[in-house]
Structure 1
Amino acid sequence: MTVHHPQLTSAEIACIWTAYMNDSMSKCVLGYFLNVVEDEDIRPIIQLAYDISFAHLEKLNHIFRKENLPLPTGFTDSDVNLNAPRVYTDSFMLQYITHMARVGMLGYSGFITMGARKDIKAHFMAGLHETADLFDKSTEVLLSKGLYIRAPYIPYPTETDFVDSKQFLSGFSLFNKQRPLNAVEIAHLYMNGLTNQIGSKLSLSFAQTSPNKDVQKWMLRGKDISQKHMKIFADALTSNDVPAPVSADVSITDSTTPPFSDKLVMFHMSLLSAAGTGNYATSAAASQRTDLVLNYERLSLEVALYAKDGADIMIKNEWMEQPPTTSDKEKLAKKKEK
């Protein structure tokens, strides 16, 4: 059997570039967490997450060198102050890792589907397995400490049923009561409320510690958007007598010393905004009540506009690293004419 060694496709280059950016950011964040964590039950989870990111960067470095591709700048030691005072509580750090593991599993699943070369697929399949293991271990610690926010319970159904009216799809009616939420819709409302809780606390912490006025303003706007979305999702649940997820943890200290560079925190919130938009699209597709679908669509637009303003700040300050691009043929032709 002939073994071919084709060059990387555009999709594979996009995947390894994105993975490098994400892992280099995670290494900075987790390195800081390791310096300030106090709970000895949580420390091993942070260490595991750090080790995964560190190992991934080593493997990605090898791939970039092997393919003679320029290594992204990403995020380095200059983007983190390991000696900064404690900004987050231990329980929030654990919840953060659990949330980012969720984001990572979705990301790796997508990377796997875009790869054709065996070594690239193998890297991302291993990453998916490692991230799933991290999620499992962090969830177990959350459960053991009574910190895991469970999805709402509903009564077990006693029989199977089929939709017998088009009103099942309607979320608006002047004369009839809205049908109850189904389990699929509840699950997505719960998860989107949970992710916005994390986003709200992170954006507040970044606003609290950033010295840049534009960043502060944008982060506070992000906090307000997250809290607004949390209320919409909570209202949708409570109006159907389903409890909304609540976290009692304080999460953030009073420290105003920045542990991370503005470049890093802007990238981080942009990453979470992109993940949130993807979650809303999935939730809209899975929901069958039209009022929920419309909510997800309008909230997605709000997040997209917010992300666009964040990108403008990053470009203005030269913080946005450009992904690999194809050559501009027209520009090359004009240059040749000169």
Structure 2
Amino acid sequence: MELIHHPQLTASELATLWNTYMADTMGKCMLIHFKETVEDKNIEEIIDIALQIAEDHIITITELFHKEQIPIPHGFDENDINRNAPRLFSDVYYLRYLEHMGRTGLTTYALAKAISTRKDIREHFKLWYEQTEQMYDLATDLALAIGTYVRSPYIDYYKEVQYVENNDFLGSIFGKQRSLLAIEIAHLGTNIEVCHVGQTLLMGFSQVAKSKEIRHFLQRGTQIGKKQITIFFEILKDSNTSYPSTWDALITGSIEPPFSDKLMLFQANLLSAIAIADFGAAISGSVRRDIGILYARLMAELGSYAEDGAKYLIKQRWLEKPPQTHDREYLINRE
């Protein structure tokens, strides 16, 4: 006799699927605008691939939630796009956004598979990782070919194996610090690029948002990103390390919003969450005390910014409640 066991989704599986649905419905809106305004055919081909990936994810999760009798999140739809709006960003920025989206997706889907149990869910995340990997490689290869890829700083190869001789290697809060490790440079370079992508996006959004309050909030995010980039550059400079190149002036002069204020505010919060995760990873790879303390402070600053964004989403009744456990105390003490 064949035993059929179909367990319900675990909290981890439900959370990652719900988050993926929200991110992909938002990303689909962004990509539709990119596709309708892009001029470079090579970049358009990658946008098409990314758009197809997002649409496939939305369909798969919708079917899965129907089967599990889970309500489908509202997410984002045609009401969050202004198809008549002119382009807000350049083709080069579209490519940078695709790289950033791909890098984030690789991290997200690898973790999602690792914390999933059901075979079908693990297979979905495996497939989604492979799809994202293909898109990321295409975006990276094109950026390298046209000369817009932002490389991590270089260092000389080491000549011999060495061992740490004293606790100075761990650094201190103040005073002279040892030179940077390759892994510390890697995180600094990556976070500079992440901040640049986010800063440019929020600057463009702050230019077109309908609500004056949201425009100011997005501008605040731009200033946070600019300050953090300066801090990271200074650490590299103090260690006489080369820094990654930058690409500015990627925003047009349009003031007509291609997206709803709701979508732009959600994207701002998502960028903050991604940066906080990146800073957390950087802390684990940074041995110097001063760098770890710095990342912790910057994470707190981004956390405060994201909290203010969430409060505004709640105020406007735009924040969908993620899946959560029942409030047992409320159920027990109800009238």
TM-score, scaled relative to structure 1: 0.96
- Find the aligned partners of 1:197 and 1:300 in 2 and give their Cα distance: 16
- The residue correspondences of 1:177-196 to structure 2 (distance < 5 A) are 177-196=176-195
Shift of 1:173: 5.4
- Find the aligned partners of 1:173 and 1:332 in 2 and give their Cα distance: 52
- Kindly indicate whether residue 118 of structure 2 is the aligned counterpart of residue 117 of structure 1: yes
- Kindly indicate whether residue 18 of structure 2 is the aligned counterpart of residue 11 of structure 1: no
- Kindly indicate whether residue 302 of structure 2 is the aligned counterpart of residue 303 of structure 1: yes
Shift of 1:241: 1.5
- Find the aligned partners of 1:277 and 1:248 in 2 and give their Cα distance: 23
CA contact (8 A) 2:97 2:197 kept: yes
- Find the aligned partners of 1:165 and 1:57 in 2 and give their Cα distance: 54
CA contact (8 A) 2:170 2:287 kept: yes
- Find the aligned partners of 2:161 and 2:185 in 1 and give their Cα distance: 18
- The residue correspondences of 1:74-153 to structure 2 (distance < 5 A) are 74-153=75-154
- Find the aligned partners of 2:82 and 2:174 in 1 and give their Cα distance: 55
- Kindly indicate whether residue 222 of structure 2 is the aligned counterpart of residue 223 of structure 1: yes
Q: Give the equivalent residue in structure 2 for 1:39.
A: 40
Amino acid at match of 1:235: E
Shift of 1:334: 4.2
- Find the aligned partners of 2:332 and 2:173 in 1 and give their Cα distance: 57
- Find the aligned partners of 1:83 and 1:114 in 2 and give their Cα distance: 42
- Find the aligned partners of 1:250 and 1:308 in 2 and give their Cα distance: 29
Amino acid at match of 2:251: I
Q: Give the equivalent residue in structure 1 for 2:326.
A: 327
CA contact (8 A) 1:91 1:249 kept: no
CA contact (8 A) 1:196 1:227 kept: yes
CA contact (8 A) 1:171 1:292 kept: no
CA contact (8 A) 1:214 1:313 kept: no
Amino acid at match of 2:22: M
Paired residues, what number?
334
**Structure 1 unaligned blocks of 5 or more:** none
**Structure 2 unaligned blocks of 5 or more:** none
* Partner SS state of residue 42, structure 1: helix
- Find the aligned partners of 1:131 and 1:263 in 2 and give their Cα distance: 26
Q: Give the equivalent residue in structure 2 for 1:259.
A: 258
Shift of 1:184: 0.7
Q: Give the equivalent residue in structure 1 for 2:196.
A: 197
Q: Give the equivalent residue in structure 1 for 2:289.
A: 290
Deviations 1:84-103 (A, max 9, x none): 10101000000001001111
Deviations 1:173-218 (A, max 9, x none): 54xx421111011001100111000111011111101010121111
Q: Give the equivalent residue in structure 2 for 1:237.
A: 236
Shift of 1:273: 0.5
CA contact (8 A) 2:102 2:136 kept: yes
CA contact (8 A) 2:151 2:245 kept: no
Amino acid at match of 2:164: V
* Partner SS state of residue 124, structure 1: helix
- Find the aligned partners of 1:151 and 1:12 in 2 and give their Cα distance: 34
% identical aligned pairs: 39
- Find the aligned partners of 1:247 and 1:173 in 2 and give their Cα distance: 29
Q: Give the equivalent residue in structure 1 for 2:27.
A: 26
CA contact (8 A) 1:35 1:83 kept: no
Shift of 1:324: 1.9
Shift of 1:9: 1.5
TM-score, scaled relative to structure 2: 0.97
